[in-house]
Amino acid sequence: MLLVLGSCSSKRRAAKSSPEFTLIETAKSYRGTPYRYGGTTRAGMDCSALVYHSFASVGVKVPRTSAEQSKLGEKIPERKIRPGDVLFFATGRKKKEVTHTGIVTEAQKNKVRFIHASTSLGVTEDYLKSAYWTKAFLFARRLELK
């Protein structure tokens, strides 16, 4: 007799063999990398470089800046965000200008976690519903993965 036990979880995660999984694991491999404006290496990188390198790991070429990255893919309503989607934020003085980006690592109802390069903490994960990020959030986009 074979007994299979499974668990039910509301967290949506990328399947281990999916491009989304590779994308997210690549992004997570940069955790702890210090922030450096314009930086593109493990010695220091900015938010758009994290997105650039992570998508390159699955064969998707994206522009180098968050403003240009924000023009790609399909705009996604917040309630339909899933792992691998890209979030865009206005963290500067202009409330509608894209200045920051991150990649969704986990998504469930009202609980979206994303990885990004923070100016104070380097590459780290945060929740979209934190007071700071909720206020700065502009929109999400989904890029087609290969």
* Known catalytic membership, residue 116: yes
Which is the catalytic residue, given 100, 133, 136, 137?
Answer: 100
What are residue 101's phi and psi, to 5 degrees? -145, 160
What pLDDT score does 12 carry?
60
What pLDDT score does 9 carry?
41
Residue 1 lies in a domain: no
Residue 13 lies in a domain: no
Q: Which CATH number is 44's domain given?
A: 3.90.1720.10
What pLDDT score does 77 carry?
96
Residue 26 lies in a domain: yes
* Known catalytic membership, residue 47: yes
* Number of structural domains in the chain: 1
Which is the catalytic residue, given 69, 116, 128, 140?
Answer: 116
* Known catalytic membership, residue 53: no
Range of the domain at 49: 19-142
**pLDDT tens track of the chain, all 146 residues?**
333 333 334 456 677 779 999 999 999 999 999 999 999 999 999 999 999 999 999 999 999 999 999 999 999 999 999 999 999 999 988 889 999 999 999 999 889 999 999 999 999 999 999 999 999 999 999 999 97
Which is the catalytic residue, given 24, 45, 47, 112?
Answer: 47
Residue 2 lies in a domain: no
For the sheet with 137-142, list strands across it.
74-76, 137-142, 86-89, 100-108, 111-118, 122-127
